[in-house]
Amino acid sequence: MSAANPHRRVSPSQRPSVGDAVSSTAQPPSAPDLAGTAGASQRPRVLGAWSLGMIMVAAVLTLRGFPSVAEYGWSSIAYYVLGALFLLVPMSLVAAELATGWPKAGGLFAWVREAFGDQWGFLDIWFSWVNNLFYFPTVLAFAAATLAYVIDPSLANDKLYLVLAMLGIFWGLTFLNFFGMKLIARLNNPGVVLGTLLPALVLVVVGVYWLASGRHSEIPFHAGKLVPNLGSLSNVVFFVAVLLSFTGMEIGGFHAKDLRNPTRSYPRATLIAVALIVGVSILGTLAIAFVVPQSQLNLVAGLMQAFSVFFHALGFGGWVTRVMAFLVGLGTLALIGAWLLGPAKGLYATEETGDLVPQLEYVNKHHQPVAILVAQGVLSSIFALLFLSVPSVNSGYWILTALTTQLVLMMYVLVYAAAIRLRYTQPGTPRPYKIPGGKAGIWIVAGAGLVGCVVGFVIGFVPPTAVKHWPTPFYVAAMVAGIVISSLPPFIIEKIKKPSWRLAHPDEVLVDAEPVDAAVPPPGPERS
């Protein structure tokens, strides 16, 4: 592929419509992708339930949300269980059915497009991409605050340090992604084990020891405290953090076709992943609540606050805290690196329907969507600067967390709806994994997910009383404005896009569609 000019545009007279392109292939719109299906049938099925379960755990389990949920103390157990029932389990099962039935480039884009058409598919993948613009600053703030404990813990509350560290980390990882997945994989593999699983295990072990040894707990146990206080929405606002921490289970669906026995193994993989994710999340969250008073809990640095208290009380010294800070920081860098590229590739797949703005179509010789990555970096950097204008680090962190969750839930609503609709419109499409129970089964599973999304969406507009923030009317207005502005571009693009936006020769690694006018060779050197 020529890095200088890898694409050739289609003129309005040359470019057939999407319907023409489909009809010319002698493949009906409802038929599964033949290349993808053939590849799936020939690919060795090498994964078992345990292997897939571990993939899900690595993609979803994060320590970042523990401090936010620790606000609930013992009742956090109930919130985690509810989050699993109304988000974690439904999304993993629905994604498995959709990914094995329609194994196409773009993931969410392909599924929703198959059910509701091009515009809705574009809207869904847009939500998948744009929510990361708000998500990245929150996880970057967590990384920066965590790494501050390696140098000076007081920096965790310094807005200027946080912003500079966030921008440095983000652009460094973005630059690495220009060179493909090999470099990121080298960071990701040890990062998941050393930076997430190991610190989570240490946190759980010291938390259990702390409680078992009879040491002072900031949340003395009482059976009544296990029941959530649902008296008002302000009491459940941090449930949003639970929902956000449980997103990402759809990644398991992309690997379902590699299972030796999808129908039997996928539910087992889901059970393994859910048990580990929920179990570690509950124990890790309670460990933080044991030692950090609610009034002093920092939503960004709460994890390191807990480690500092634990290790100081146990006589290990500050060096152990610094080691843990380094490891958790490493794990967070791996998480950011892993999520930088996926949504960008999904957005690139929309060139197939002519929805990708021409300025974002550049792909380099490593088959990376560089233009999208740069735009993503610029916009996320702007939102990172929000930390300089909000009342506190906690408030900036929470506003971006809530807005991210709102957009993710809107994205998931379309996925659940697509799964239900495709059961009616394409019942004969082969699905190596299919939610059991017929139409009733899909309604129960996807319906539970829809309920979780609606409840979480409503809660997201309620400002938390435990966090200093703007006056409530301004807070709600900011949330509404953020959602509206984030949702408008797909509708604007639909009105202004031109037939020439669709590429004649998209990057073959990033999409699985045939070029529109493959008979016309691209100018310049041929791509290898």
pLDDT in tens, 310-321: 999 888 878 899
Amino acid symbol at 366: H
Contact 166, 384 (CB under 8 A): yes
User: From CA 25, how far away is CA 34, in angstroms rounded?
Assistant: 11
Give the pTM: 0.78
What phi, psi does 184 have (nearest 5°)? Answer: -65, -40
Kindly report the number of other CB atoms within 10 A of residue 485's CB atom.
10
As given in the structure block, the two tokens for residue 210 are: 């702390």
Amino acid symbol at 60: V
User: From CA 76, how far away is CA 213, in angstroms rounded?
Assistant: 22
CA 232, 235, 241, 244: dihedral to nearest 10 degrees? -20
- Residue 9, helix vs strand vs coil: strand
State the DSSP code for 433.
S
User: From CA 427, how far away is CA 202, in angstroms rounded?
Assistant: 47
Q: Which residues pair with 9 in a beta bridge?
A: 503
The per-residue pLDDT for 527 is 31
Q: What is the chain's pLDDT, residue by residue, as a tens digit (528 residues)?
A: 434 444 444 443 343 333 333 333 333 333 333 333 334 445 556 678 888 888 788 778 888 889 989 988 899 999 999 999 999 999 989 988 998 888 776 678 889 999 999 889 999 989 988 998 888 888 898 899 999 999 898 888 888 898 899 999 999 999 988 887 666 666 666 777 888 889 999 999 999 999 899 888 998 888 778 887 776 666 688 788 888 888 888 777 766 667 788 778 888 888 888 999 999 999 999 999 999 998 888 888 899 999 999 999 888 878 899 999 999 988 888 778 767 877 888 888 888 778 888 888 888 888 889 999 999 999 999 988 876 777 777 777 788 888 999 999 999 999 999 999 999 999 999 988 899 999 999 999 999 999 999 999 998 888 877 666 678 888 889 889 999 999 999 999 988 888 888 776 677 767 754 444 433 333 333 333
Taking the alpha carbons of 389, 390, 392, 396 in that order, is the dihedral positive or negative?
negative
Contact 261, 29 (CB under 8 A): no
The per-residue pLDDT for 504 is 65
Domains of the chain: which residue ranges? 45-501
Q: Which fold has domain 45-501?
A: Amino acid/polyamine transporter I (1.20.1740)
The per-residue pLDDT for 342 is 75
User: From CA 268, how far away is CA 252, in angstroms rounded?
Assistant: 12
The per-residue pLDDT for 105 is 65
Kindly report the number of other CB atoms within 10 A of residue 496's CB atom.
8
- Residue 469, helix vs strand vs coil: coil
The per-residue pLDDT for 435 is 94
Contact 71, 238 (CB under 8 A): yes
The per-residue pLDDT for 409 is 94
Contact 326, 146 (CB under 8 A): no
